Structures are given as structure tokens and as C-alpha cells.
Amino acid sequence: MTNVLAVADHRRGELRDVSYELITAGRQLADETGGELHVAVISGTVDEFADKLNREGVDAVHTVDYGEEFNHDVYAQVLTQLYDEHAPQYVVAPNSVNGLDYAPAVANALNLPIVTDTVDLESDGDTLVATREMYGGKVETTTELEGTVVATIRGGEWPAAEGTGDAAIEAFDAEIDEDAVGSTVTGFEEVGGGDVDISEADVLVSVGRGIEEEENLEIIRDLADALDATVSSSRPIVDSGWLPKNRQVGQSGKVVTPDVYIAIGISGAVQHVAGMKGSDTIVAINTDPNAPIMDIADYAIHDDLFDVVPALTEEFQ
Amino acid sequence: MKILVTVKEVSTVEDEFEIEGTSIAEQYLGADLNEWDDYAVEEAVQLQEAGIADEVVTVTIGPEDCEQTIRQALAKGADRAVRVWDDSLEGVDLLDVGAKTEILRAVVEAEDPDLVLTGVQSGDDSWGATGVSLAEELGFEWAAVVNHLEHDFEDDRAAVRRELEGGVEELTEIELPAALTIQTGINEPRYASLRGIRQAQRKELDVQTLADLGVDESAIEGDVTLTDMYEPESESDVTVWEGSAEETAAELGELLREKGVAP
Ligand SMILES: Cc1cc2nc3c(=O)[nH]c(=O)nc-3n(C[C@H](O)[C@H](O)[C@H](O)COP(=O)(O)OP(=O)(O)OC[C@H]3O[C@@H](n4cnc5c(N)ncnc54)[C@H](O)[C@@H]3O)c2cc1C
């Protein structure tokens, strides 16, 4: 019996970390429901991927050798066929940009409920209790779903599976209806190069939407000058065109690991935190004592940045 | 070309708040146009200004209160709006992806657009799944997390960029009709002009019930039940510096010197 089908994530020849986290989440659900954990890996060098995915707790890996890169139409077709053949109770996929490009379609095609961006999953065999955040991380919720469910998991919430397993590695003979493939990936492009590499900086003075106006960035630059630090930012600052893309910290920006990261007027949304949680020391300056950034900060000042930042600059002049 | 844009009014939460049962107490909540939808509206209006779209229609699931938010979208240039609501939606805690898909499908079928634009996610319940689910339901093509859209639509195809993780973008072409989930940064949403705000008052805002749309009430029961809401437990042992700005800045200055990262 297949109880859980986990879908691996890969890009440009590399499995992504969340694939191993999916194995941990999937194994746990399989244990709770007393069944097997199957992993699907679709497109790319699937045999190579299958060897890597054969970690402790995996019962079977289904490989689908079709095309080089991710294509959501292919994923959707393969997954509905795998579902029909193996009838898993839970399909778990990553809450990655690609996961969100096929998982909702698969759920809808199979007429199954979907719960996204989960940070914890628990099942008693009938009811799935999924924990997720709302309001940008200000609250956490538990939600319940009966029966068969598609769930996407947030990266970094489950430990990566390790060890080697003795999974059966099976090529799955999917029938791809080419006419139903209406999307074509034509290439990739790296963005965000340029003059400064924020991932090399020892100290980052990082600014978020709390700064309000472009002109106000001046006080951030003054501070960075006084500290001989580099300026980085959260996404809205880049979206507004106030700083170039190569200054953006986060999931879709750069991953940084400075000695000190000073988050100024940044709430600490999960996509931002993904880029800076590896910083040695995190300092948050934010008027909101409940902002999610406080959960990962080492030091915090719950005060107005327009008072604190100039005062700090003065310290060093 | 006709474009349908989903526009959601999202709840915003004050810095300090209290939870009552499975929701945040009313008095701590505000309302705003969903950030991601704002970019979707802007993209549609730009397509209209470029002479590519003939009509931009917005659709919102929400009570009468959210008409102010809908008027914001109209003031930015959308031509008219559809709002879906009735009593059966009143007491629903959480409208899940399946329920939204059902309701929006009925609106899309009635409007018959060539392109549907939705935000990547909503700022409050952040499912991030409705646009793609809706596309599948309609038999439309789709693309999730789009941060660039070519405006020429050669051969009835949309050329888009999808923003992946880690500063990598995927170039993708998809066939129309299609639904795109729009990422922030794709454009610069405009502020509504005074003239736009005045004009918005006269634009058509059509209210539809589930019955009008032929949607069965059972569709909104949904499969996801919200059972608890709480403030996340903080895992950190954050040191909070207290005092005047000068005092806290001095503490931080001290730390930076200790770490040897500041003069
Ligand atoms: C697919 C996807 C990818 C994304 N990728 C990224 C990414 O790579 N990087 C990224 O950053 N975001 C990313 N985001 C966006 C992310 O979800 C948040 O919207 C964003 O990080 C919020 O930025 P912010 O913290 O600056 O703004 P907000 O969330 O608006 O927070 C502003 C903060 O400033 C505080 N504040 C306001 N005024 C003051 C004051 N006077 N003094 C002190 N504090 C003040 C407020 O209390 C608040 O906490 C992504 C989103 C999606 C859906």
C-alpha cells in the first residue's frame, strides 16, 4: 500500500534540498498511517536523482525520464497517473515556486483538497492536521482535512533525510499527451549581478518597508558609511526601484551570511528569512515587538528606526 | 483581448492584537487591497493602455464593505467590477482553494476572458494556489509567479518570466487562454489619480450571488477546517534593549565594537 507520494524538486541538474526534507515529512506521515513512502522524480537525469533519493525510509522511487527540465503540464499528467496507479492517501510536494506551479493543478484535477505552505503535518490515518501561518507569520493556525489530501511543505521546516535506503527504483511508464502540453520552458537567466556582492559582506545594514520613502534611504546609507558596512534590503525596496536587484536578501534574492545583519524596518516574512537566517548575529530594529523577525533575532530594539538609526550613526562619527 | 483580474481585500493586523477563537479580534484588523493583486491590476491596465486589452474586469469574493477596495482598482483603470457574495458566505471562517476555484470558475465562464491575472498569493491567508487551481479547472494554461510578461502575444502565446528561487528566472511560453499569477516587482503600481477616483464612482459594480452564478452552496463548505489560531511560540532568546533611542543605539554600538565590526 502506498500511503504517501512525495514529489522531488530539482533544477538544472541538481536536486534541491527540500527533496530530502520531503522524505522526512513523507516518512513521518507514512509511519502515522502505517504505509509506504514512495518518491516520484520527473524529468532530468532521473536515474542519478533516484540513487540520491534512495535514503532511509523510502520504499520506492518512481522515475519518469521525460525532458530535461521542469514542465508543469508534464508534472501534472505524470502525477495524476501515478496517483491513479498507486492511490496514495497523501501527496506531498514542496512549497517551492515550481511546487506552486503544479500542485494546485494536480489537486484540482484529482478533485482533492490542497493545503499549502505547511510547517507541520500530523495524521491519525483519517484526519490530517496541517499547521500553517497566516498574516505574514503573525499567527499560526491548525487546520484539519479528512481523507486524501495534497499538501505542500515549507522548505527548512523538516530535517533532511539521511542514510541509504533499499528502495525499489522503478521506471514509471507515463503516457504524456503532447497536445495537452501548452507550456514550454525556453531558458533560464540569472539576475541580480552587478557592482556589489552582498553575500560577501561582513556587516549588512538591511532596510525594509519601514523606511517608507526613497529619500529616507539616506539615513541608512549614512549608517552604512559610518560602519563601513554594505546596504541590503527586503523585497519591497527593490520592487519600488529604490535599490537594484542585487541588494535583495531572500528566497528570490541572495542568501547572505554576514557576521552581523541589522534588519531595519523589516518584518521577517518567511521568504526574507530564507535569505538571512544563517547570519551570525541578527539585530532587529522594529516598532512591532511581535514582528516575526523577533523570533530569529539575537538582539532587538523595539523602537522607531527614524530615532534609532541616526543615533547609532552618531555613535560612530 | 479581455482580461479578468482577481482582486481581494485582505485583512491587515495591528502590531498588538488579540485572538478570539480562530480569528483575530475585529478591532485589531484593517483592510487593504492585496499587495500582489495591485500589481496584477496594474499589468492589466498597462495592457489596456497599450491597446492590447479591450476590457479589464475585476472580480472579488467579498461583502459590501470591500467595495472601497474594489473602487481602488477601478480608480486605477479597470473598466468594471464583479463582486460575489451572499449570506451563505457570511459565516465562513476560511474559504479554501477548492471553494474559491468553484466560485471564480463560474465568473470566468460568464465573462469569457482571454487572460486571467491573479496575485501570487494573498497577504492574509496566503494559499498561493488559487490561480493555478482555477486555470486547471477551466482548462486554461497557466504560469505561477510571473515577474515579466511580454506584451505582444505573438501567435496567441504569452511569453513570461517566472521568478524561481535564488535569483534565477525561467523563460516560459504558454498558450492562451491562460491564467498568470503575478509577482510583485513586475511593474510599478500607480496611485489612483483624483480623476480616476471620481470616475471609479460611476463605473459598474455588479453584485452576484452564488445562485446567480449557478454555484451550488455546498461548494463553499470547503475541505479545510480551521481549528486553532495562536501566536507562534518564539524559539529565540532575543535580548531586547530598552530605553531612549540614544540608549539603545549605544547598546548596539557597544555590540558592534565588541564584535570588532565597527570602528
Ligand atoms: C514567491 C515569493 C518570493 C519572495 N521573495 C522575497 C525575497 O527574496 N526577499 C524578501 O525580502 N521578500 C520576498 N518576498 C516578499 C515577502 O513575502 C514580504 O512581502 C517582504 O519580505 C516584506 O518586506 P518588509 O519586511 O520590508 O515589509 P513589511 O512586511 O511591510 O514590514 C515592514 C516592517 O517595518 C516595521 N516598521 C514600520 N515603520 C517602522 C519604523 N518607523 N521604525 C521601525 N520599524 C518600522 C513594521 O513594524 C514591519 O514589521 C517574496 C514573496 C513571495 C510570494
State residue A2's pLDDT score. Answer: 63
pLDDT of residue B205: 97
- Looking at residue A233, what is its pLDDT? 98
Ligand 1 test: best mutation among A248, A271, A276, A290, most atoms within 8 Å of CB? Answer: A271
Nearest CA in chain B to A286: B15
The answer to whether A42 touches A66, Cβ cutoff 8 Å, is: yes
Cell of B24: 483575530
Q: How many CB atoms lie within 10 A of CB B138?
A: 20
* Main-chain dihedrals φ then ψ at residue A113, nearest 5 degrees: -70, 150
For residue B29, the surrounding DSSP H or E stretch is: strand B29-33
- Residues in chain A, pLDDT under 50: none
Q: Which long-range contacts (CB under 8 A, 24 or more apart) does A77-81 make?
A: A77/A174, A77/A175, A77/A176, A77/A177, A77/A180, A77/A181, A78/A40, A78/A42, A78/A172, A78/A174, A78/A176, A79/A5, A79/A7, A79/A40, A79/A42, A79/A106, A80/A106, A80/A109, A80/A110, A81/A172, A81/A174, A81/A175
DSSP conformational letter for B10: E
Tell me, what's the pLDDT at B92? 87
Instruction: Identify the pLDDT of residue A194.
Output: 78
Residue A1, pLDDT score: 60
Asked whether the beta carbons of residue B188 and residue A251 sit closer than 8 angstroms, the reply is no
Q: Rounded to an integer, what distance in angstroms lies between the CA atom of residue A300 and that of residue B251?
A: 10
Distance from CA of B20 to the nearest CA of A (A): 12
Q: Nearest Cα to A94, choosing from A171, A52, A146, A42?
A: A42
CA-to-CA separations, B89 to A23, B82, B107, B218, in angstroms, rounded: 38, 16, 16, 11
pTM of the model: 0.96
User: Is B224's CB within 8 Å of A98's CB?
Assistant: no
A169/chain B closest Cα distance in angstroms? 29
Contact assignment for A105 to B252 by CB distance below 8 Å: no
A268: CA distance to ligand 1 center in Å? 6
Q: Atom 14 in ligand 1: which residue has the minimum CA distance?
A: A271
Identify the residues whose C-beta falls under 6 Å from ligand 1: A 136, 208-210, 234-236, 248-253, 265-267, 269, 271-272, 275, 285-288, 291, 304-306; B 120-121, 145
Quick one: pLDDT at residue B262? 82
Question: Is the CB of residue A316 less than 8 Å away from at least one CB of chain B?
Answer: yes
Distance between Cα A237 and ligand 1 center (Å): 9
Ligand 1 pocket test target in A97, A246, A262, A286 with most atoms within 8 Å of CB = A286
Nearest to B224 among A72, A97, A115 (CB): A115
pLDDT recorded at residue B249: 97
**Which residue of A140, A281, A284 is in closest CB contact with B232?**
A140
Chain A residues in contact with B96 by the CB 8 A cut-off are 113-114
Taking only residues 217 to 276 of chain A, the set having a beta carbon closer than 8 angstroms to any beta carbon of chain B reads: 227-229, 235-236, 238-241, 245, 251-255, 259-260, 262
Q: In chain B, which residues have pLDDT < 50? A: none
Q: How far is CA B172 from CA A77, A95, B52, B137, B148, in A?
A: 18, 20, 20, 21, 10
Query: Would you list the DSSP string of A280-314?
Result: SEEEEE-S-TT-GGGGT-SEEE-S-HHHHHHHHHH
Helical axes B97-111 vs A99-109, angle rounded to 10°: 80
pLDDT at site A174:
96
A252–B142: do the CB atoms touch at under 8 Å? Answer: no
> Strands (DSSP E) along A183-295, which ranges?
183-190, 203-207, 230-233, 260-264, 281-285
Helical pair A217-227 and A305-315, crossing angle rounded to 10 deg: 30
Residues 103-142 of A with CB under 8 A from B: 103-105, 107-109, 113-117, 129, 133-142
Task: Please say whether the beta carbons of B251 and A141 come within 8 A.
Answer: no
How far is it, in rounded angstroms, from Cα B127 to Cα B104? 15
Q: What is the pLDDT of residue B186?
A: 98
Closest residue by Cα to atom 26, ligand 1, is A208
